[in-house]
Structure 1
């Protein structure tokens, strides 16, 4: 895999932005790595960070580069601060950035596929919310979305956290439920309107403070008959759990089985 620390100017934000990118590289001489490429344009996972983190966190806390190598999968990890992947009422337009500008900019820099079947989103906590928001808002662009310990019931969550901060993000919090920032509303829209349903994955530890909200969203998706894979096990809101579960996400992703251009393993 190739690792790129990428800094670029965002026209949407009006400031410089940052992302980490890992790209497939078919190798035969790299000890301890099995790498492959499945096409000239790479399938891509947009991997999103949580509220207290930034674009570096997945590389610092997990072995995502090693995990992704065997799938021939590019991974784009952007920074969005504490925006909740939203066009903030008082702040920057991070939803427009993440959903519109970032994919276009990343594809202009790197050989990433623009086809729906090759694009996926995943994230943890706030990033789990962002990943499901991408997949449910744009089922025509994303084949799958995965949430690891995600904020799936955002309207309920903001009542328990700093209301001033989330008012700056979302505006009137009494209007959040049922809005375009509410995953429950977006899931209902997809069930009623979308011709191509995105595959959804959701997991949460049973001791996580977000567990009850995840159960509510799971049950909502099941009532709507969305294609949801749900997993739970003992666990809290921590990186040992997410390091394990991101491996489950990668194995679950519907990555198309192109003929591999080349691959190899050095068993020396």
Structure 2
């Protein structure tokens, strides 16, 4: 395995950024996998998971809190985690363009440095908590770019945070920067996943596959479950799972492993 911290200047964000990158490179002996893990050849690429951090986390949190390194090696897939700074991946009202960064600039730069595939069928996006919301929002807006999206313990209707005593504090701190002081920049065709799902269904475009899992003991569950099930009725292929679990990595980490088993990963290089 190799874990890189890649730093570069972002034109979209007008600042230096840091991104975590995991590549399933071989160890000296490869005793766990024999000859299955190899260095990529000149035309060989990895499939890639764009693993979005939780709302308040930085680029390193997914690597520090989960066993994603191990899961990436088992499935021989690259994993890339950016830092989105409480933006949820939106272009913000006053010119900081996180959506453009996430969907255009970041893939372009990463593909120029690392051997990762640009094909839709090899790209997947999602995460835990607010990272799952961002994964859905991004895949719904750019269905041509991702074959699948996933959420683990996520509010898929981000404004439901206002109705939850645990999430309300965070939402009140960040909502003005996302939507304006009086929600004047809020656009359901940009910010609301149910509306985005309806837009995608009406468009006739090919839809990604979607996967969501919620924990019964998660304090966000009461407000999260309804919108999740509503969206599942709109999309062609969305799996919804409910299990016992809290809003923490003790629940999220084994679910992340299940997500990788669900994704159409080839456990090898793609051309």
State the 1:234 CA deviation: 1.4
Q: 2: distance between equivalents of 1:232 and 1:174?
A: 35
Cα RMSD (Å) of the superposition? 2.4
Corresponding residue to 1:73 among 55, 67, 77: 77
Alpha-carbon displacement from aligned partner over 1:219-244 (angstroms, at most 9, x marks no partner): 22332242111111111111111111
- Relative to structure 1, the CA distance from residue 164 to residue 244 in structure 2 (aligned partners, 3 Å threshold; closer, same or farther) is closer
* Segment drifting more, 111-120 vs 149-158: 149-158
* Segment drifting more, 34-43 vs 82-91: 34-43
Which residue does 1:10 correspond to in 2?
A: 10
Secondary structure of the corresponding residue to residue 219 of structure 1: helix
Corresponding residue to 1:210 among 217, 220, 223: 220
Matched pairs, number:
261
Alpha-carbon displacement from aligned partner over 1:169-196 (angstroms, at most 9, x marks no partner): 2224376472311111111112111431
State the 1:102 CA deviation: 0.8
- Relative to structure 1, the CA distance from residue 102 to residue 201 in structure 2 (aligned partners, 3 Å threshold; closer, same or farther) is same
1:192 aligns with 2:202: yes
Q: TM-score with structure 2 length normalisation? A: 0.88
Q: 2: distance between equivalents of 1:26 and 1:227?
A: 35
Q: 1: distance between equivalents of 2:269 and 2:151?
A: 29
Instruction: Indicate if the aligned counterparts of 1:19 and 1:55 stay in contact, CA closer than 8 A.
Output: yes
State the 1:103 CA deviation: 0.8
Q: TM-score with structure 1 length normalisation? A: 0.89
Instruction: Indicate if the aligned counterparts of 2:153 and 2:214 stay in contact, CA closer than 8 A.
Output: yes
Which residue does 2:211 correspond to in 1?
A: 201
Q: 2: distance between equivalents of 1:45 and 1:259?
A: 14
* Segment drifting more, 207-216 vs 103-112: 207-216
Q: Give ranges in structure 2 of 5+ residues lacking alignment.
A: none
Q: 2: distance between equivalents of 1:173 and 1:208?
A: 28
1:30 aligns with 2:30: yes
Equivalences for 1:114-263 in 2 at 5 Å? 114-158=118-162, 160-161=168-169, 162-163=171-172, 165-171=174-180, 172-173=182-183, 176=186, 178-256=188-266
Q: Give ranges in structure 1 of 5+ residues lacking alignment.
A: 262-268
Equivalences for 1:39-78 in 2 at 5 Å? 40-78=44-82
State the 1:79 CA deviation: 0.7
State the 1:156 CA deviation: 2.1
- Relative to structure 1, the CA distance from residue 207 to residue 174 in structure 2 (aligned partners, 3 Å threshold; closer, same or farther) is farther
State the 1:80 CA deviation: 1.1
